[in-house]
Amino acid sequence: MSGYERGRLLSKFADLVDQHTEELAALDGADAGKLLLVGKVIDVPSATQMLRYYAGAADKIHGEVLRVSGKYQGYSLREPVGVAGVIIPWNFPTMMFFLKVSPALAAGCTVVVKPAEQTPLSALYYAHLAKLAGVPDGVINVVPGFGHTAGAAITSHMDVDTVAFTGSTEVGRLIMESAARSNLKPVSLELGGKSPLIIFDDADVDMAVNLSRLAIFFNKGEICAAGSRVYVQEGIYDEFVKKAVEAAQNWKVGDPFDVTTNMGPQVDKEQFEKVLKYIEHGKSEGATLLTGGKPAAAKGYYIEPTIFVDVTEDMKIAQEEIFGPVMALMKFKTVDEVIEKANCTRYGLVAGIVTKSLDVANRVSRAVRAGTVWVNCYFVFDPDAPFGGFKMSGFGQDQGLGAMDKFLQVKSVITALPDSPW
């Protein structure tokens, strides 16, 4: 199929997804405890924006003219790699599906998608809508199942040509091993994070408090890019802490289908218990629990928005990804000090900076080892902005035109000119 035709099909697919926004947001809400309203205004619309971005790119995949020495001409082709395995997590079932599937299809690959075992429903619905849009059979395949069975079958398969994965660092390592042991398929891994949000003295405190609340409590903290380490400069620290506690207490936990709710339940019992265990670690390691710290309801996997202060960099809650609504708040004095602290984990996914000083923003943006830096904002994702990790947050780009590269392979074609010796 030509790039133009692929683009048209993807646009049609996007239109159909838009028409089913309500049901799709409800499926993710039922599966993962995500807010219905957020699904309708953020998850599904961002997914179709992604799909349309790559629909527009499908007929603009170019090779290069090569400067080959001697009497030859050379050009490169960028060809689809073939069958792409896509393994995604449960926290953003819709966005993750389109983050990977859109560039893969635009590039001309077919996909075998394994949604997370907790959240298979919307992916199955997307396969159905793709069929209605006219996507040929066999192009989008959805194989729900567990990681160690369905997931491992994809990563070890000799006929799967690449794997695009988002999930934990631990599983990312297994995927790379399995790819290496089978057909050496390339993998791209978007893994965990323990991202710093750095707030300087010159910040508007109310704005910074709201941003920090969003950064850790949005989607119940179940987000790889969560701003889970909040560094606040000493001049505004006391005021910030007081307001952050009030803001956390005003973040309403409850039924994700109620439009007044800010935060639903954790996805399942395992995550619920894992988060509570980290809260216990925080307490036993000597951090001070200022608010939250326990289940928010007698029934269901609800956890109160939680804030720890007196956190030091060596504590588990400052180093490990909790994937829950737990903020570790820390005080700092100087720019140099906070740069060093911001970079002190094995992760490097994103970083946030709040300051009115352009010099500080520029300096810190360059010094932090993170794949995305948000200045005076947070969670601003855009199809055109490359997203991916440094360090143990993974490698391989999502978003942006470069995301198609992982689904393409480059071929050089060199042709002898008529007067070439051979």
Which residues make Cβ contacts (< 8 Å) with residue 218, sequence separation at least 6? 226, 379
Which amino acid is located at 29 in the chain?
Answer: G
Our CB check for ligand ADP shows the closer of 151 and 264 to be 151
Our CB check for ligand ADP shows the closer of 153 and 401 to be 153
Alpha carbon 394 to its chain centroid, in Å, reads: 11
Our CB check for ligand ADP shows the closer of 129 and 164 to be 164
> What would the two tokens of residue 415 be?
């042709």
Residues identified as active-site: 190
From the CB of 28, what's the least distance to ligand ADP, in Å?
15
Interface with ligand ADP (CB under 6 A): 87-89, 114, 116-117, 146-148, 151-152, 155, 167-168, 171, 174-175
> What would the two tokens of residue 302 be?
């609800």
Strand-by-strand arrangement of the 229-233 sheet: 288-291, 306-309, 326-332, 229-233, 196-199, 350-354, 372-375
- Count of Cβ atoms closer than 10 Å to residue 197 Cβ: 27
Our CB check for ligand ADP shows the closer of 33 and 108 to be 33
From the CB of 179, what's the least distance to ligand ADP, in Å?
10
Q: What is the DSSP string of 211-265?
A: HHHHHHHGGGG--TT---EEEEEHHHHHHHHHHHHHHHHTS-BS-TTSTT-SB--
From the CB of 150, what's the least distance to ligand ADP, in Å?
7
From the CB of 271, what's the least distance to ligand ADP, in Å?
8
Give yes or no for a contact between 132 and 30, defined as CB atoms under 8 angstroms apart.
no
Give yes or no for a contact between 327 and 212, defined as CB atoms under 8 angstroms apart.
yes
Query: Roughly what angle, to the nearest 10 degrees, separates helices 93-107 and 44-57?
Result: 10
Our CB check for ligand ADP shows the closer of 89 and 325 to be 89
Q: What is the spatial distance between Cα 79 and Cα 412, in angstroms, rounded to a whole number?
A: 11
Q: Is 407 helix (H, G, I), strand (E, B) or coil?
A: helix
Query: Roughly what angle, to the nearest 10 degrees, separates helices 3-19 and 121-133?
Result: 120
From the CB of 223, what's the least distance to ligand ADP, in Å?
10
From the CB of 168, what's the least distance to ligand ADP, in Å?
3
Which amino acid is located at 147 in the chain?
Answer: G
Give yes or no for a contact between 317 and 329, defined as CB atoms under 8 angstroms apart.
no
Our CB check for ligand ADP shows the closer of 175 and 368 to be 175
- Count of Cβ atoms closer than 10 Å to residue 117 Cβ: 15
From the CB of 152, what's the least distance to ligand ADP, in Å?
4
Facing residues of 289 across strands?
308
Our CB check for ligand ADP shows the closer of 225 and 354 to be 225
